[in-house]
Copies of this chain bind each other. A is one copy, B any other.
Amino acid sequence: MATILLIEDEVALGMIVRDSLEVRGFTVTYAVDGEEGLALFRANKPDVVVADVMMPKLDGFSLAERIREDDPYVPIIFLTARSQPADVVKGFELGGNDYLKKPFSMDELIVRIKALLNRNHPLRSADPEKLTIGKYHFDYTKQKLALNGHEELLSHREAELLKRLYEHRNQVLERSLVLLDLWGDDSFFNGRSLDVFITRLRRYLRDDPNVQILNVRGVGYKLIA
């Protein structure tokens, strides 16, 4: 049938989930922490990954980032503790990811696994890369932002950032995610750089009052459009 990589540091829970999945015909490989999970992922190329978020050595989100380097498509389902702030999780809902709040029922997990398995891979919907943000027209490849007749040419980094904000519009886009993605590392100074870019984007976007970039302190930014 399908192979599933399960990563869960609570062994008791991990065993139960593994057995339940195997009873339903899945082939399961099981790891107890992120590092082992990453190794097993590379060894086995599973069809779906189910990973706890809070784990020793390598947490679920970091693990996901490493997995995405190898494979941008494999579906990842996060298991989050009840005590996980809702915001942190939201950014990961898109892009082949799903999440489940503990405690969850096995049925819920099965449903999600099946839903993700059924999806045929090229899930990228055809984007002509011409996006609409409020009254603005944003051409990502040409890096142009236009309102009425007026057209601004954005720098590459400005365009990349705006695109990511757009892809997460009306949700929180995490600082650390952008920093790792665009800058390659999440450090204090790069963080300040990001702030400067946000200021510039706000300036570009200020002519439509319905478009706003809101800050979520300690987490990231939210583009309202």
Cα-based distance from A214 to B141 in the complex (angstroms) = 10
Cα-based distance from A86 to B225 in the complex (angstroms) = 26
Q: In the complex the two chains form, is B107's CB within 8 Å of A115's CB?
A: yes
User: In this assembly, does A70 line the interface, its C-beta being within 8 Å of a C-beta of chain B?
Assistant: no
Known contacts A108-B118, A111-B115; A83/B184 CB under 8 A: yes
A172 to chain B, nearest CB (A): 8
Q: In the complex the two chains form, is A182's CB within 8 Å of B86's CB?
A: yes
Contact of A118 among B87, B105, B120, B134 (CB under 8 A): B105
User: In this assembly, does A146 line the interface, its C-beta being within 8 Å of a C-beta of chain B?
Assistant: no
Cα-based distance from A183 to B218 in the complex (angstroms) = 12
Q: In the complex the two chains form, is A156's CB within 8 Å of B108's CB?
A: no
Q: How many residues of A are counted as interface, with CB atoms below 8 angstroms from the partner's CB atoms?
A: 56
In the complex, what residues of B have CB within 8 A of residue A217's CB? 155-157
Contact of A132 among B122, B142, B182 (CB under 8 A): B122
User: In this assembly, does A202 line the interface, its C-beta being within 8 Å of a C-beta of chain B?
Assistant: no
In the complex, what residues of B have CB within 8 A of residue A97's CB? 125-126
User: In this assembly, does A98 line the interface, its C-beta being within 8 Å of a C-beta of chain B?
Assistant: yes
